[in-house]
Structure 1
Amino acid sequence: MSPRDVLLHGGAALVRHHAVASVVLCALALLATLAFPLLARKFFVDENAFILGAASTSFDAVDAKAAASHAANAREAIRVGVSSGVDATDALRGWVSEELEKIRLDVFAHEFARTPPRGSRANATVGRNLHGIARARKGNGREGIVLVTPIGDPRSDGPDADADALALLLALTTKLRDAPWLAKDLCWLVPDARVAGPVPATDAWLREYHHPSGSAGERFGRVGAIQQAYAVELPRGASFDRLRVSMEGRNGALPNMDLVSVAIALGRGLVTTRGDATRVKRPELEGGWARVESAARPLVGRRAAAGYVGDARSVVAFMRRLASGTPTGAHASFKSFAMDAITLRGFIEGRDDGGRRRGRVSYDGARAFHAFGILLESLTRSSNNLLELLHHSMFYYVIVDDFRFLSIAEYVAPSAMMLFAMVLTAGAIAGRGWNPTSRPPRTEQEEEEEEEPPPAPPSHDWSSAFAVAFAAHLSGCLAGATCVFAHDAGLGLGVVAAATWVVAYGGAAVAHLAASNFGFFDAPRGPGVEPAWSSLWVVTLSVTSTALGALTFFNFALALPVTAVLAPLCLAAGRGPGSSGRAAATALAPLAFALPFDGGATSLGALASHHRSWTGGTFALPLMFGVVWPAVMQCALIAAARRPTRARRRVDRGKKTR
């Protein structure tokens, strides 16, 4: 038998036994998901131009003392400004502008409208970004590196923390502006992060950078094509014992992993130079994770159980941040413009509930400035050596810990298997019917030898199926629009949720009436003619698998849990007797509202608020109302449709075989 015949017979057998194959594929997807912690591999840097560890640094103790002096001056500027009725953020920006002019940098100001999130009662104000440019003596002005220090962020440690970050960057910029190796222009951006945080302010600056509006006039300096960007945030007092590298952008977008790997490698060496006091430690397991670890301990041993459960918790935590679609720093704005960027945060791991320090601090004062300055200089010099954008490494990954990660090759398998099960079932139902004869398929030679022609493929009522599917999706779109518009109108979270429920279930009632008119709940029409719900089943499987497959490559962390719920639900909707179908339909519909969030009467209102918090929105709300709710609604209709009895099936089979 030729390989082609083997493939044909294997594919035919797979289609013939698609029900069993779907169960096996879903089970394998579950096992592959549980194996995530076991498949992690070590970090590596794929871009040799970074010359990681091969270049020396020049940021020394003298520069660190200069940074400490700058920090004292910045705090004094805050004190003087506040005593004069000037906002602390405005005082800091004025101080750093004067300092940049003293070291002969090109200084530019950019005003933008600070618009609060929709539904917020805050008033729109004018924000003022500031950036200075150090021109590279050996450069041609066509490429640049951006360093970012947001000021005025309500979620930061306050103006003193902003003063420390500005002081560090001022000392570093003073050092690097005359560096003999600098071949790319260096831009230092100070976004005004008041009201809405650093992301909208950085967005406004990048929009002006790439699409000049004319409001900034000719006084808006540029550094050519921005290659990489590094945002810096320090705690109050510049005291830290840990370094957090934040890379999550809008809707789970990630920078090239080489940039993350270099930052983690350099930062890991930074925080481990003091030995056990600063060694990276995994937090203690608590709650459900501790119970899972206790249950696994007798099976695999204490050490293996703790390692596996700890890695699983890290994977879930990282994927949860990606699935939320929430940016974790100013770096997210650069990723929206196809630039790789990360945020570096120093923080104190040992704090009590009141935010006070607990135990010894690894880096404090001048030592903190020295350590962080070395890190930033190393990263800047690494980016300075690149001749093109990062492209060797991957843009899809899951961070497990400071040493290991999962690439797309490991984590895409579960989604791929569940989606393939949906596509396989849809193809089998479309080509063979939902309850075909048990007669095995014949080869071409057998068909030629037999006088009887092969049975005709089943007849589907595609127009009715597409009409009901359209009604279900239209219902979801109207419910989603109601959710957003009610939130924008300033209604409470509970009112938003109630209005959305009314529209959603009103649309479900309309879809049910449409299904009734198209004969979804009538008796089968005869042999060779598929019931209407069977055609809808094919449409539901096809549309849902296509949408989830597309989402997998935009936000895998959000697609995986939704696929894990919708795939078995869609696969099981058309199976089994119809006696329990109507009861199942009642139980299926509310499931849609519990998928993307923790539940509660105000969940839908909170979802709308989260969606409106970021420019362009997040994937969660469109996924909820454009994919999840229509799929659940169609599954409920399919489960509630009337199926033929077993005696009727035997009669139909006899008519088909004669």
Structure 2
Amino acid sequence: MCVRTAQSKNSPMATTDAGVPSSQPPNPKPRPIVRIAMFLISHSALFSSICCAAGILALFLLPLLAKNTYVSENALMPGSANPMFSNHDTMEANRLVKEIMDLKLSSGIAGIEISNLLGKYMTERDADVYHHNFHVQKNQFHLGNFFSDSSYSWHVKENRSCTQYGINTVAIIRAPRGDGKEAIVLVSPYNSTNIRLSDALSLGLSYSIFSLLSRVNWLAKDIIWLAADSRFGEYVSVAAWLKDYHNPSFLDLDKSDDGTCPVSHALLSRKGQPTTAGSRLNVFRRAGTMAAALVFKVVDGKEETKDTLSIYAEASNGQMPNLDLINIVNYLAVHRQGLHVKVAKLYSVLNAAWLRTVGQIFEFIGKTAKSVNPQWGFGISAADYVDGTATLASSIYYQALGIPTGSHGAFRDYQIDAITLEMSPRSSLYNEVRRSDFLLGGGRLLEGVIRSVNNLLEKFHQSFFLYLLSAPSKFVSVGIYMIVFMLLIIPLPMVAASLYSGPNERESSARTNNENPDPAVAIVTTSGSKSCKWLHAARVVFVVHLWSGMVSLIPYLINQLPERTPTACMLVWVLLSFVGLIILYCIAGSPYSYKISHQPPDREWAVLKAVMISVASIGLGLMSIINYATAQIGAIFMVPMCLLAHPLKHAGTAGKLRVLSLTTSNMVLAVIGFPPGALLLVKGWLEGFDGVSFGDFWIWAETLWTWNSATYLYLVLIQLPCWVLCMHILLHP
């Protein structure tokens, strides 16, 4: 009996029309997502143009997409309780201010006397009081110190002059309803060597708040008041105290001098006196885990119609505090104290005429859309758009810079939510009548913020940590601004795939198949040719990135040179970098040393460009995890440069208009894609080209590596090698 089995549609054996089995299996139909990917790859030029244009447009739409801030954590309850801060507390603040200013006039060592005075006032409130002494030494560049907890090293060494020590005065209130596991920090920076009225007011107001909190019965978290000696800088004093707080040190100041130092006499002489436990000034004391920190400062008033509160929140490498902390400050300042709240703006953007024109266009579109459908209320006025764009640009700029905008950045290094508050009265600080009203409003604001944080049962976590501010009460969340970044970098892998499977590659494969009728031999030959080309391109990209790593270390050697100027350092840096690149090419081979007879000449640069684009997309993606703002600004410069890179010699075969546009765009991108060139152009645009010099990039880079900013690593390890490879492609023979 003959049995005929049905042939499966997935069987590798197919039959011809004559019934003879065929050795070639039928080609399966690709899946829809594969067909879409193939379509996008085959039209990569159009796709990349649309994505880049959409990314730039979306960037200008961010002020329109900003949402109003709101308090996510219900336990905060800002403004739910009546303030207890009264005129009596302002009188205490004024009394301390007067004594501090009298010390400045009558004493030559006012810094030590101010510390003693603050310790005396703190001890009267039954607080745990001590003096924290630190010595600061600026840290030189060292690549191994990147992403460490601070950019300076604080330590006490022998044979140091006592004038090189800073003196922080610290007091701790133990919460009557707490268990000592959490604390709130209030920081008051002041310059002990040149005390001003604004510094004295900061100390006076902080003391009055501290005095009030020592008497209340609702306190559930310990209160730490840090009077930070900012003679070496505000950040330095706070970071030194935080480092000792989290990393105990067992050094004693008594061993650091010969006993003649006024610091040890003035601050430690009472060590053996029979005083209260809170006045043992040589014992470093601690409270619980820090829930939040407020850095409070009073600055000289400007011509404003209201008392002004400025908020600074940016920390190292683009870190931001939880948005709820800013929200409660803004809510209490505006709706309870009637203050004018400000955040930083880029005034060069604020005064741009072209930006006002863009705002008017968006305002017209918004009005037109609202007239068609009243529910489409997405438009804003041109003035609000310009103001929001200037604030948004400032937020992106300071996050991308990676340098803290205040001493609150030292807390973010320990994952503590902190902001800096600068209060400025609308009148002169010497107006005692108006000053009392100003102190009353500032005290009630600080009381309200501390009371809200005191209500928390856990750390800030409900609101956003990744955001951009477009106003004190408006923000752009990570879910929105990442769309802009993705639109800019999506074309990179598509173009890389298109270069890999370009028409020349298909022609080469067809030619190989004709020369080798055996399919197996043809596949092996084609795969071997591709692997050889990609290995060479990958080797070139690896050599250039290895060179960029060497370039990042050169400043450490330059810093050892005596009597150096920024311009000379920059020239030496460029010269050593160029020599190092030539040496590596002599060892590993240049990008132009690879020739294969059966390959079209334009495939060499195309493969190199494909590998370069792939590596650039990976670098931008990794940088977006570390610091989104740096990756966003870098993508604006790098993506067009990578996509438009084309050998100038091969461009001559196209039309004259295309040759002119391609050559012009490549030359422009070659200038703005070079990190020093981009910096000089941006600085000239913001500040004017009269004061721009070649050594400015060295000063800027030195600042970045001193503060351990990841932006320095991005510029040297990602953007610089990408620019060098683009130059190789432009000059390809």
TM-score, structure 2 as length reference? 0.75
Q: Which residue of 1 aligns with 2:130?
A: 108
Q: Which residue of 2 aligns with 1:182?
A: 219
Distance 1:520 1:22 in 2: 28
Residues 153/582 of structure 1: CA separation in 2 closer, same or farther (3 Å cut): farther
Residue of structure 2 aligned with 1:465, choices 513, 537, 547: 537
| 1:370 paired to 2:447 | no
Alpha-carbon deviation of 1:139?
1.0
Q: Which residue of 1 aligns with 2:251?
A: 215
Q: Match of 2:670, as an amino acid?
A: L
Distance 1:481 1:437 in 2: 43
Following superposition of structure 1 onto structure 2, how do residues 104-503 of structure 1 map, counting pairs within 5 Å?
A: 104-116=126-138, 118=140, 125-152=164-191, 158-195=195-232, 197-215=233-251, 219-236=283-300, 241-269=307-335, 272=338, 289-293=351-355, 295-296=357-358, 299=361, 304-347=381-424, 364-430=434-500, 432-433=501-502, 435-437=504-506, 459-460=530-531, 461-487=533-559, 489=561, 491-503=564-576
Alpha-carbon deviation of 1:264?
1.4
Following superposition of structure 1 onto structure 2, how do residues 518-529 of structure 1 map, counting pairs within 5 Å?
A: 520=592, 525-526=597-598
Q: Which residue of 2 aligns with 1:566?
A: 638
CA contact (8 A) 2:131 2:170 kept: yes
CA contact (8 A) 1:241 1:362 kept: no
| 1:588 paired to 2:670 | yes
Alpha-carbon deviation of 1:507?
3.5
Alpha-carbon deviation of 1:252?
1.7
Distance 1:573 1:401 in 2: 38
Residues 392/602 of structure 1: CA separation in 2 closer, same or farther (3 Å cut): same
CA contact (8 A) 1:524 1:531 kept: no
Alpha-carbon deviation of 1:319?
1.6
CA contact (8 A) 1:115 1:125 kept: no
Name the count of aligned residue pairs: 609
Which shows bigger deviation, 201-210 or 107-116? Answer: 107-116
Q: Which segments of 5 or more consecutive residues in structure 1 lack a partner in the other structure? A: 351-355, 440-450, 643-658
Residues 391/420 of structure 1: CA separation in 2 closer, same or farther (3 Å cut): same
Residues 51/585 of structure 1: CA separation in 2 closer, same or farther (3 Å cut): closer
Question: Please, what is the CA RMSD of the aligned residues?
Answer: 3.8
CA contact (8 A) 1:192 1:201 kept: yes
Alpha-carbon deviation of 1:305?
2.7
CA contact (8 A) 1:263 1:379 kept: yes
Q: Which residue of 2 aligns with 1:52?
A: 78
CA contact (8 A) 1:111 1:128 kept: yes
Residues 237/412 of structure 1: CA separation in 2 closer, same or farther (3 Å cut): closer
Q: Which residue of 2 aligns with 1:556?
A: 628
Distance 1:609 1:391 in 2: 35
Alpha-carbon deviation of 1:315?
1.1
Alpha-carbon deviation of 1:497?
0.9
Which shows bigger deviation, 55-64 or 553-562? Answer: 553-562
| 1:63 paired to 2:89 | yes
CA contact (8 A) 2:67 2:474 kept: yes
Q: Match of 1:54, as an amino acid?
A: S
CA contact (8 A) 1:26 1:417 kept: yes
CA contact (8 A) 2:391 2:470 kept: yes
CA contact (8 A) 1:267 1:375 kept: yes
Residues 101/47 of structure 1: CA separation in 2 closer, same or farther (3 Å cut): same
Distance 1:519 1:232 in 2: 56
Q: Match of 1:330, as an amino acid?
A: S
CA contact (8 A) 2:591 2:728 kept: no
Alpha-carbon deviation of 1:53?
2.0
Alpha-carbon deviation of 1:476?
2.2
Alpha-carbon deviation of 1:428?
3.8
CA contact (8 A) 2:44 2:498 kept: yes
| 1:94 paired to 2:116 | yes
Q: Match of 2:318, as an amino acid?
A: G
Q: Which residue of 2 aligns with 1:650?
A: none
CA contact (8 A) 1:16 1:428 kept: yes
Q: Which residue of 2 aligns with 1:649?
A: none
Alpha-carbon deviation of 1:40?
0.8
Residues 199/426 of structure 1: CA separation in 2 closer, same or farther (3 Å cut): same
Offset from partner CA, 1:451-498 (integer Å, 9 cap, x none): 989976671433322332232123323333223442464521111111
CA contact (8 A) 2:101 2:200 kept: yes
Q: Which residue of 2 aligns with 1:651?
A: none
Distance 1:43 1:370 in 2: 26
Distance 1:253 1:279 in 2: 21
SS state at 1:54 partner: coil
Following superposition of structure 1 onto structure 2, how do residues 534-545 of structure 1 map, counting pairs within 5 Å?
A: 534-545=606-617
CA contact (8 A) 1:132 1:188 kept: yes
Offset from partner CA, 1:615-639 (integer Å, 9 cap, x none): xx22232222111111100111123
Alpha-carbon deviation of 1:592?
3.2
Residues 22/381 of structure 1: CA separation in 2 closer, same or farther (3 Å cut): same
Offset from partner CA, 1:49-73 (integer Å, 9 cap, x none): 1012212221112111221122112
Residues 59/288 of structure 1: CA separation in 2 closer, same or farther (3 Å cut): closer
| 1:620 paired to 2:711 | yes
Offset from partner CA, 1:524-580 (integer Å, 9 cap, x none): 542599944333323322222222212223322222121111111112225786356
Distance 1:199 1:284 in 2: 23
Alpha-carbon deviation of 1:79?
2.4
Residues 285/499 of structure 1: CA separation in 2 closer, same or farther (3 Å cut): closer
Alpha-carbon deviation of 1:287?
7.8
CA contact (8 A) 1:47 1:258 kept: yes
SS state at 1:491 partner: coil
Q: Match of 2:202, as an amino acid?
A: A
Residues 466/438 of structure 1: CA separation in 2 closer, same or farther (3 Å cut): closer
Distance 2:343 2:616 in 1: 42
Which shows bigger deviation, 535-544 or 382-391? Answer: 535-544
Q: Which segments of 5 or more consecutive residues in structure 2 lack a partner in the other structure? A: 1-28, 142-151, 153-159, 254-281, 365-379, 509-517, 653-661, 684-691
Alpha-carbon deviation of 1:502?
0.8
Alpha-carbon deviation of 1:312?
1.3
Following superposition of structure 1 onto structure 2, how do residues 638-657 of structure 1 map, counting pairs within 5 Å?
A: 638-642=729-733
Which shows bigger deviation, 127-136 or 565-574? Answer: 565-574
SS state at 1:131 partner: strand
Which shows bigger deviation, 202-211 or 333-342? Answer: 202-211
Distance 2:129 2:402 in 1: 34
Q: Which residue of 1 aligns with 2:46?
A: 20
Alpha-carbon deviation of 1:223?
1.0
